[in-house]
Amino acid sequence: MIERDRYTFIFNPAADKGRAAGKAGMIERTIATYGNASFEVSRFAGHAGEIARIAARTSSTLIACGGDGTLNEVVNAVIGLQVRIGIFPAGSANDFLKTLRPAKKTHEETILGFADAFSRRVDLGHVDFGGKSSRYFINSIGIGLTGRIAGKVKSTTWLRGEMSYAYALVSVLLGYTALKMHIKIETPGGTIELDEPVFAFSVSNGAVEGGKFRIAPHADPGDGLLDVCILKAIPKWRFPGYVLKYLKGSQIDDPRVLYCKASSLEVFMPEADAMHMDGEVFERVGGSMGIAAVPRAVEMLCDS
């Protein structure tokens, strides 16, 4: 039976390339004041989701303690269940939390604040991989350039934070070419269709990706729509200039960028490439896929 005020903190010590492990003691000590909270540790990829599914049988609130990947696991495990989800940021970027704009607090204040936090329902994105499998995302997906960058960041264990993203960007860009894509976008104003090489493809529910890049500056996770940002083919030497635009969110005003709100997309890629979903990497994604907004799909805790 679900206990109305019971909390389960799901902690991923592998977040932030293993640096999150140092926060375990502090989290356990702080939640001890709750009296109605448990602390569960994720031991392997996919384990946070397993913990969440079991915890949702008795807990009304699950706190994802990790990065966007940990949050993604928890959300996918409990979609459709009557449970609230909170975020304790212990990852390298914690991108989705930035869209919720929490007040600046110490780690201890953040943990104690969950007890008095209000909640709001937020949208999700859903990806159907040609009927073979599907998965939800809460912040963003990227195919090609950003997918490869996310993969490089994961594999570069000797760098962290902004430096790891900068190194990954340069490394990926050296051997990168625009991807052949056919894209059909359903917007509130009608259908948009593209059949041309694409340099960077992102679909977002949150505003920020990669720590500081404002891929979708107008994103609102409560508007029932996804934000599409597509950079059409450009010479590689021009991309550093776009990096500055992405940092400010001004790329949406560039004539080579298509930016719009969408309820759904159909994408066809003749050649497979890397894809990230909330920072987690899928190495070879290709063929047909469908992407759709799922309005008001989960209940998230926000600052009181």
pLDDT tens-digit readout, 144-181? 999 999 999 888 888 877 778 888 888 999 889 999 99
- Do residues 142 and 95 touch, judged by C-beta distance below 8 A? no
Q: Are strands 59-66 and 84-89 parallel, antiparallel or unpaired?
A: parallel
Confidence at 238, pLDDT banded by 50, 70, 90: very high
Secondary structure class of 182 (helix, strand, coil): strand
pLDDT above 60 (res 304): no
Q: What domains does the chain contain, in order, with CATH numbers?
A: 3-116 (3.40.50.10330), 126-296 (2.60.200.40)
Question: Looking up tokens 């890629």, which residue turns up?
Answer: 269
- pLDDT confidence tier of residue 35, bands split at 50, 70 and 90: confident
Higher-pLDDT residue of 60, 166: 60
Structure tokens at 209: 């990706």
Residue 1 has pLDDT above 60, yes or no: no
- What's the sign of the alpha-carbon dihedral 9, 161, 283, 245? positive
Indicate the Cα dihedral angle 276, 216, 250, 238, nearest 10°.
20
Two structure tokens written together for 206: 């949150």
pLDDT score, position 40: 98
Supply the DSSP string of 224-264, one letter for each residue: S-EEEEEEEP--GGGHHHHHHHHHHTGGGGSTTEEEEEESE
Q: How many CB atoms lie within 10 A of CB 283?
A: 11
137 touches 277 (CB < 8 A): yes
Query: What confidence tier does 3 reach under pLDDT thresholds 50, 70, 90?
Result: low
Question: Tell me, what's the pLDDT at 4?
Answer: 62
Task: State the amino acid at position 284 in one-letter form.
Answer: R
- According to DSSP, the residues that pair with 119 across neighbouring strands are 301
Q: Taking all residues of the chain, what is their mean pLDDT, rounded to a whole number? A: 94
The pLDDT of residue 54 is 97
Asked whether the predicted pLDDT for residue 131 surpasses 50, the reply is yes
Q: What confidence score (pLDDT) does residue 242 get?
A: 95
Share above pLDDT 70 across residues of the chain, in percent, rounded to a whole number: 98
Contacts of 215-219 with C-beta under 8 Å, sequence gap 24+, read 215/140, 215/142, 215/246, 216/140, 216/259, 217/249, 217/252, 218/252, 218/259, 218/261, 219/99
- Label residue 37 by pLDDT band (50, 70, 90): very high
Contacts 24+ apart (CB under 8 A), 22-30: 23/65, 23/90, 23/107, 26/107, 26/108, 27/65, 27/88, 27/107, 27/111, 30/107, 30/108, 30/111, 30/112
- How much is the average pLDDT of 58-82? 97
pLDDT above 90 covers a percentage of the chain that reads 83
Give me the pLDDT at residue 155, please. 87
Measured at the CA of 56, the angle between CA 72 and CA 206, to 5 degrees, comes to 25
pLDDT reading at 2 higher than 70: no
pTM of the predicted model as reported, rounded to 2 decimal places: 0.94
